[in-house]
A and B are shown apart, each in its own frame.
Chain A
Amino acid sequence: MAPFDVNGLAGTVGYALAFGAIGFGFGAVLEMAGFGDTRKLAAQFYLTEMTVLKVMFTAIAVAAVLLALASGFGLLDMSRVFVNPTFLPSEILGGLIMGVGFVLGGFCPGTSLVAASTLKIDGMLFVLGGLAGVFLFGESVGSYEPFWLSGNLGRFTLPEWLGLSTGLTVLLVVLLALTAFLAAEAIERRFGPARASVRRRPRLAWAGAGVLLAAGLVLAARGDPGPEQRWRWLPAAIRQQVAERAVLASPAEVVALRKDTALRVEMLDLRSEHDFNLFHVGGAERVTRADLTTPARLRRLLEAPPSTITFLADNGEGPALEVWKDLRSRGVANLYVLEGGMNRWLELYPVPDCVATRGPGPLGGAPEYRFLYATGDSLPASWPELPRSRAFRLPCATAVVSGGEGAGEYLWPNHAYTRRVKPQVKAVVKGGCG
C-alpha cells in the first residue's frame, strides 16, 4: 500500500529522479498557471486578479479529495503520510511575515524558482534574497528558539479539531473552496479587467465543481473506514502474523524486556477496573478500546519512539487481539499482545495461595484467579523483573514461591520463551519543506 518507502532509495539515482520528476511537474504547472509573472501574483492583493486564490484553493481541494479517496479505499496509508506538525505561534507569525514579503517581492519561494527559470531577472533576485533570508534565519533562530518551538501540537488535523470524519471535513473544504471561487469571480467582475476566466470556459468549470462536490459527498456519506475494513487492506504478511501467533509475546519475554533499560515497555491493560485493582502488572495502565482510538491517544502511540514496546493485556487473548488488529491497521508499530493474558502471567508468576487461588478450569478468557482482596501492583508478581524483591511486605508469613531460596525472598525462575518482539524503526517521512 502507498506511500512507497522512498527512504529505502535514499542515495540512489532513482531517489533523485523521483523527486526531480515531482519537482518537474510542480514547476511546469506553476509556470502554466502564470506564476512566473510577478504581476499575476501581486494582483491577488489588489483584487484585480484572483488567480493565486483560484489555483491554490483548487489544488488543495483536488489533492484533499484524491487523498481522502485513496485512503478511504485502502490504496494509501495516511498514517505514513507526512502531516506538517502544528506550531500555531510560529506558523502564524511566519505567515504574516511571508504575507509582507509576498507584497514586497511579488513572489513566494516556489513561484520565484519558476520565474528565475524562465529568465525573469526579478525572480532571480528574489531567489538570491531567499538564500539570504534562510541564512539570516539560521543565524538568528537560536536567539528565540523557545518561541520557535512553542505550541507544538504535533500531528493535528482539522477532522480531529472539529471532531468530524475525514470525509465530512473534505466536503467542507470543497464547499469552502467553491464559495471562495464564487466570491473571487464576483470580485474580478467588480475590480478586474473584463475577462474573468470562468466566462471563458464556464462549462468546464461547472463540471469540475460538480465532480469535486460529488466526490466530497461520497466521502462524507461513506464516513471513515471501520477497523474491519482497514484490517482487510493491510498487507497479507501483517495479517499472517496473527494466524502465526507472531504478535503474542509470552509474559516471560515481557519480563525480560522490562529488564532492558534501553527499552521502554508499556503495558496497556484492557480488563475491567475490578480485575485491574485485584492485580495488575507494575506500571500498567488501564485503558478501554475507546480510549486507545481517541485522536490524542492514537497520536501518542503513533509517535512513540522505536524504543517503546507496547503490550496489550486482557484476561485471555481474544479481545486484546481485536484491539491489536484495530491499532495495527491504524499504523501503530511495535505493538504486541500478552500471550495467554493475565491468567498466564499469574501462572508463571504466581501470588501466594493466601491471596488468590486458581480456579479449577483451564485458562481462558475469564479471570481464573480468585483474589481475596485487591493487591494492585503491590505484590512481587507484579514486578518479576526485580531479581530479589526484599522490599515487598509479604502478605502471609508462610509464602513460598517456586524457585525462591527462602522465606521472604522471591527469586523467579527464568521461564523459557520464544522471542516474538522485534523492535522496528518506523520510516520517518519528511515533507518537502521539512
Chain B
Amino acid sequence: MTTRSEPRPYLNPYLAGALLGLVLFLAFFFTGGGLGASGALSHVQAGIEKWFAPGHVDRVAYLADMAGGRRNSWDNSGVYMLVGTLLGGLASGLLHRRARLEIRKGPRVSNGARLALAFAGGVVMAYGARMARGCTSGQALSGGAVLAVGSWAFMFAVFGGGYAVAWFLRRLWT
C-alpha cells in the first residue's frame, strides 16, 4: 500500500463537533427542525411495506400516518435528508480516501459474527429509536440543542444502557 492511498486522519473531535453544531444550527435556522436519521428509516420501511401490503399499511395507525391512503412515504423531508447524508458521507469518504469495501470490527470477532451482530444491533437500535421518537441525531443532538427535557433524559439513558452492557459484551470490542 503506497502513501498516496493511505486514508487521511480524522478531524479533531472538537472541531468536528463544532462543525456538526453549525450544521445542526443551520438546519434549525432554515427549516425549523433539526437533524435526523431514524425517522427517515421508518418512512423508507413504510414505503417498502406499502408495495407489498398496502391494506395492512392503511390499518396500522403508526404506518398509516406515514404511508396510508394516498400519502407518499417517500416524499418526506427526512428521506431527502437521508439521501443527502449518504451522499455527504460518500463524498467525504472519497475525498479522504476512506471509502473502501471493508469490515470494521473488534480484534477478537470473526467477520461473520461482526456482520450478524451489526444486523442485530441495527434491529435493536432502530426499535429503541422509534420507541424514543428519535435517534441519537433526532433526539440527543437536535432535542439537546433546543433544550428539550426528554431529549436530555434520553441522552443519559443511551449512555446508561451502553455502559450497563459494555462489560458483558467486552469480547466484541476489546
Contacts and interface: CB of A to CB of B under 8 A. Distances in A.
A105 B149 contact: no
A114 B45 contact: no
A298 to B, nearest CB: 16
A157 B149 contact: yes
Contacts of A81: 28, 32-33, 146
A433 B62 contact: no
Q: Is the interface of A mostly helix, strand, loop or mixed?
A: helix
Contacts of A208: 14-15, 18
Nearest to B42: A134
A100 B161 contact: yes
Contacts of A43: 173
Nearest to B132: A94
A42 B99 CA distance: 20
Nearest to A50: B13
B166 A103 contact: yes
A396 interface: no
A99 B120 contact: no
User: Interface size class for chain B?
Assistant: 35 or more
A88 B132 CA distance: 9
A118 B89 CA distance: 7
B135 A136 contact: no
Interface stretch (A51-59, A247-255, A280-288, A345-353): A51-59
User: Interface size class for chain A?
Assistant: 35 or more
B174 interface: yes
A431 B92 contact: no
Interface in B147-165: 147-165
A92 B125 contact: no
Contacts of A33: 10-11, 13, 16-17, 20
Q: Which 3 A-B pairs have the closest CB atoms?
A: A105-B121, A99-B161, A432-B36
Interface of B: 10-42, 44-46, 48-49, 60-63, 75, 77-78, 80-93, 96, 98-106, 114-166, 169-170, 172-174
Interface of A: 2-4, 6, 10-11, 15-34, 36-40, 42-46, 48, 50-51, 54-64, 66-67, 70, 75-76, 78, 80-88, 90-123, 125-139, 141-142, 148, 153, 155-161, 166, 169-170, 173, 181, 197-198, 200-201, 204-205, 208, 429-434
